[in-house]
Amino acid sequence: MGVVSESARADRYPKQDRSRATRQKLLEAAVACLAEHGWTGSTVTVVAERAGVSRGAAQHHFPTREDLFTAAVEYVAEQRSSALRELPAQDRGAVLRALVDLYTGPLFRAALHLWVAASHEEQLHARVTELEARVGRETHRMAVELLGADESVPGVRETVQGFLDMARGLGLANVLTDDRGRRERVVGQWAELIDGALGG
């Protein structure tokens, strides 16, 4: 087996770095386009232009439109999960607000457009259903961990899931109007309910 020269190694790593950077730009641009323009207005060409790369480069990383958009929503969901993991677990109010923020930002709006498209497009349906199930399980698991919830206690699992379902509902309402004041009051009430259910 031959020895890889230093120059060959140096050439390979910057190329890998550029490839990773291009992929990341495409994923972020795809989520932004989906959130702003919906499924019909978010083509691979539009995303590539926004990311500042060629359509060919986009298709090299993501051969199909479905590949690009499901990967984009998954990527941003993972980024948000990482941010959640850094929250101080003892501050339930901060945890609840951060969880609601997951459903009121561009990621949720992008995911919503993807869900609607998946309800009409067969090639998307199975992929989006599987992705949503995985993201939902991970969000629930993190909520339980960050809230210090003991799911062996009757009703605790349902209380946490009820909060997440309510947060999703607030996200849907936020698509049409940004009623931040009402949202904060609702989250405050849920914080009291959760403290009561989990032991505040």
pLDDT at 11 over 60: no
Rounded to the nearest integer, the mean pLDDT of the chain is 85
Crossing angle of helices 156-176 and 92-102, rounded to 10°: 50
pLDDT at 165 over 90: yes
Mean pLDDT of 141-163: 91
Q: Check if the beta carbon of residue 73 is closer than 8 Å to that of residue 111.
A: yes
pTM for the predicted model, two decimal places: 0.75
